[in-house]
Chain A
Amino acid sequence: MSMDAPIRPKIRIESVNKSYVIDGQQQAVLNGIDLTVNEGEFVSIIGPSGCGKSTLLNIIAGLDQPDSGSVELSGVTGDAISGDGFGGGRLGQTGYMQQKDLLLPWRSVLDNTILGLELRGMPKRQARERALEFTEEFGLKGFEHQYPYALSGGMRQRAAFLRTMLLDQDVVLLDEPFGALDALTRVQMQEWLLQLWESVNKTIVLITHDVDEALLLSDRVYLLTARPGKTALALEVGLPRPRHYDMVTSSEFAALKSSLMGPLRSQVLATRSGGQSG
């Protein structure tokens, strides 16, 4: 992010409410949430289980619609961005990656990565050529023609990530993308993501349970309350960039961490006493 570029909000969420019928009861999941992500920012959302983090991402991606409140993406509010009428206007406008890699078992790794391009009508051959330019950077070289089951968890996740990134959307939504990985692979993936993000100019929203991950990667961290979720805290992370993993042991990092851990712990306790779960 260059300092002289004007700061423009890329995602603006204002007093969004959402409730679902759970076990025959109407339950509020999001309760008047506010959140802003500026162009080129890396923002993390952290909060207790079941606080509606994934619902929020689904709403931004257009998979779900809010009951009330406004959602603005790239300066366009609500359903005004034209989709093809199937499920909402923001669909296909963001890159969305979930915790599960969700690779299609009948497609080779390469053909999985081009799925988004293919859905947009790009000829397969052209899409494959485009994907092959990135397989090395995404650590998939030599595995392009394997089926997904033959790959390790980290590789599958990177393949899913390449599928998300190939569409070259300005906004990328990541829902605990490293949650299912072992600790070592997770650290590798975090550093890799950090490097990747610093080289491209994307707006990223990351959902995570991992405080270190949130602080290491983000410009700002939003803490959500226990369900129904709303913004409890927005913490600016002033750590210098480029960042690297060694920073997690710095005193600056420790201070930020403690200012986040306290409120997070009280929200987690609120979840328990409320008797609600994930």
Chain B
Amino acid sequence: MLSWLLPVAILAGLVAAWELWVQLADVPKWQLPAPSEIAKELSSSSDLLWDHTLVTLKEIVVGFLAALIAGLVLAGGIAYSRVLERSVYPIVIASQTVPIIAIAPLLLIWVGYGLTPKIIIVALICFYPIAVNTVDGLKAADPDMINMVRALGASRWQVFTKLQIPTALPFMFSGIKIGVSVSVIAAVIGEWVGASEGLGYLITYSQPLFLTARVFAAILVLSVMGITLFVLAALAERMMMPWHFSEKRSNSMRQL
């Protein structure tokens, strides 16, 4: 109960201090709008914000799903095949040293200003944590368990499906949670490089006009979007691994 009450109280205190300071020190609105001003902007520009939110959300969802499918398929291949592990896996890891943000302008040259380059950036950024964590998870199966399943007569494929995949689930969800967290950043970066819609675009468009409250409103919506996506991923995790959470709970009970 108290575990969420405390951070909420601290946050409320900070917002109140911010409001008070802006009011008392008479900070100009274009420099730092008060929280009440941002709230006003949220309601007066709600239609505008909503339209741009849908665009960014679409980029994130499509990009993330593409990364998820590609990441899982590749991770499965790498864990199953020694050849793929030796040939493709080092490239996947090395690819992470390429600054994807720096590729964004190139994508504009190649695929234009539409949604596609943003989706590609989101996918490229989400792909890595999902793929690498899942590979680790698929390889994490206990050798004694592998022997047990083999002695029961399991084929290579059965070892993979009945043992390696369930073992990998917690790892996979770690990757997914990292992935959804960075997906929002990825979409905003994609829009900064060149776009005509989306919340990232709204920020770059509003800033030179000193519509600072609108910039804040857009940031707030982006945060809420990020938190919501994370919560959805965590819920999916709980639904797919009920044993994992009941086991954790009973272990922490034992420690009490």
Contact = CB atoms under 8 A, between A and B. Distances in A.
A240 to B, nearest CB: 34
B138 to A, nearest CB: 15
B162 interface: yes
Contact of A115 (B155, B162, B243): B162
Interface in A76-95: 83-84, 86-87, 91-94
Interface in B155-185: 155-156, 158, 162-163, 166, 169
Interface string B71-109: 000000000000000000000000000000000000000
B152 A115 contact: yes
Given A104-B163, A105-B247, A147-B246, A120 B145 contact: no
Contacts of B16: none
A253 to B, nearest CB: 33
Contact of B155 (A63, A84, A98, A147): A84
B241 A119 contact: no
B151 A91 contact: yes
A116 B152 contact: yes
B150 interface: yes
A104 B167 CA distance: 9
Contact of A63 (B147, B156, B158, B251): B147
A150 B144 CA distance: 21
A181 interface: no
Contacts of A104: 145, 162-163, 166
Nearest to B148: A102
A167 interface: yes
A86 B153 CA distance: 9
B162 A102 contact: no
B172 to A, nearest CB: 13
B151 A92 contact: yes
Contacts of B169: 106
A87 B150 CA distance: 8
A114 to B, nearest CB: 11
Given A104-B166, A119-B158, A150-B250, A92 B152 contact: yes
B246 A100 contact: no
A102 B251 CA distance: 18
Interface in A31-87: 58, 61-63, 83-84, 86-87
Interface residues of A, number: 30
Nearest to A102: B148
Contact of A98 (B148, B241, B243, B244): B148
Contacts of B155: 84, 86, 119
Contact of B144 (A93, A102, A107, A163): A102
Nearest to B248: A149
B221 interface: no
Contact of B243 (A102, A120, A147): A147
A102 B148 CA distance: 7
Contacts of A149: 243, 246-247, 250-251
A62 B151 contact: yes
Contacts of A163: 152
Interface string A153-185: 000000000010001000000000000000000
A222 interface: no
A61 B241 CA distance: 32
Contacts of A119: 149, 152-155, 158, 162
Contacts of B158: 119
Contacts of B250: 149-150
A147 B149 contact: no
A94 B150 contact: no
Contacts of B151: 61-63, 91-92, 94, 96
Contacts of B150: 63, 86-87, 91
Interface of A: 58, 61-63, 83-84, 86-87, 91-94, 96, 98, 100, 102, 104-107, 115-116, 118-120, 147, 149-150, 163, 167
Given A63-B150, A104-B163, A163-B152, 12 more contacts: A92-B152, A96-B152, A98-B147, A102-B142, A102-B144, A105-B244, A105-B247, A119-B149, A119-B153, A119-B162, A147-B247, A149-B250
30 contacts: A63-B150, A84-B155, A86-B150, A86-B155, A91-B153, A92-B151, A92-B154, A93-B153, A94-B151, A96-B151, A98-B147, A98-B148, A102-B142, A102-B145, A104-B145, A104-B162, A104-B163, A105-B243, A106-B243, A106-B244, A107-B243, A115-B152, A115-B162, A116-B152, A116-B153, A119-B158, A147-B243, A149-B243, A149-B247, A163-B152
Closest 6 CB pairs of A and B: A92-B153, A96-B151, A116-B152, A102-B148, A149-B247, A106-B166
